[in-house]
A and B are shown apart, each in its own frame.
Chain A
Amino acid sequence: MKANLLFILSLIALTSICDTVNQTFLKSTINSLNFTFSWNLIKLFKFIFKIILTPLVWVGAFFSLASLCIWLFVLSRADLSFAFSADSMHYIFIALSSQLILKEKVGLQRWLGILLIIGGIVFVSLG
């Protein structure tokens, strides 16, 4: 039972990491385009077109698809109430990649929130 729980938790971590890779690639692509939002439809279409034409975005989409497949496997084995709560660990990976790869500042309050999420996941897993 314990080994099974660890296996499912690591699969959930894997989906969260795949999602994080997708989000990070998308965000770094958008950052590099230096786009400021406007309702100008031509500009908007150009922006979306540029995103779609970026290979990194396609790699991200592949990770997103992988995440869905792993997630479906997790759901075939685990309670939804458990899996959905534990999936909140993507906040941790997003914070890490935001700081390390995207060079964003992650403040104290955010790390405190992440600590609360980790504590919550531990309780959810034990429950």
Chain B
Amino acid sequence: MLKKRVTLKILFLLVASDILETAIHFFFKKSAATQADFSVVDLPSVFFFLKAVFSSPFLWMGLALVLIVFIVWSTILSKIDLSVAVPIASFSYILVPLASIFFLHEKVTFLRWLGIFFILLGVVFVSLSTHERQA
């Protein structure tokens, strides 16, 4: 049986998971960005790099959000189909670049937005085809 009805509550959860997903990658980026000049050449330097990144509070905030997103996402999937949830959740492919522009001062060129649009379309195609198998 296909579960397609997206109620207001599920939509709220989906938007929340999008925003949380964006926050996770923002925090990961924040924790890693401090080590941008760190050259990783051998095994000990790998451990030094990881030690520095894992001692950043941003990383642990990101990991805590991973756990929360997992719970939110499990709740969503118990209510609606993956083929319906994934296209709506792929909104993070737009939110992450937007957050990168506003909070990390990155520049996103037109070509990159075009690429993001193609990826988004591709993700929708990939997930919508789950209908074929369940039908």
| Residues of A participating in the B interface, judged by any CB pair closer than 8 Å | 69, 71-77, 79-82, 84-85, 88, 91, 95, 104-105, 107, 109-110, 112-127
Contacts and interface: CB of A to CB of B under 8 A. Distances in A.
A79 B129 contact: no
Contacts of A107: 129, 132-133
Given A81-B106, A84-B96, A85-B93, A115 B116 contact: no
Interface of B: 25-26, 28-29, 31-33, 35-36, 38, 40, 49-50, 53, 59, 93, 96-97, 99-101, 104, 106, 108-129, 132-133
Contact of B122 (A72, A84, A104, A113): A113
Given A72-B32, A72-B53, A85 B133 contact: no
A84 B93 contact: yes
A110 B115 contact: no
A126 B113 CA distance: 11
Given A72-B59, A81-B101, A123-B118, A114 B126 contact: yes
Main secondary structure of the interface of A (DSSP, over half): helix
B122 A80 contact: no
Given A72-B59, A84-B96, A120-B115, A113 B129 contact: yes
Shortest 8 CB-CB contacts between residues of A and residues of B? A113-B125, A123-B115, A127-B112, A120-B118, A116-B122, A120-B119, A124-B115, A117-B122
A27 B121 CA distance: 26
Question: Which of the listed residues A76, A91, A119 has the most CB atoms from chain B within 10 Å of its own CB?
Answer: A76
A116 B118 contact: yes
Nearest to B124: A113
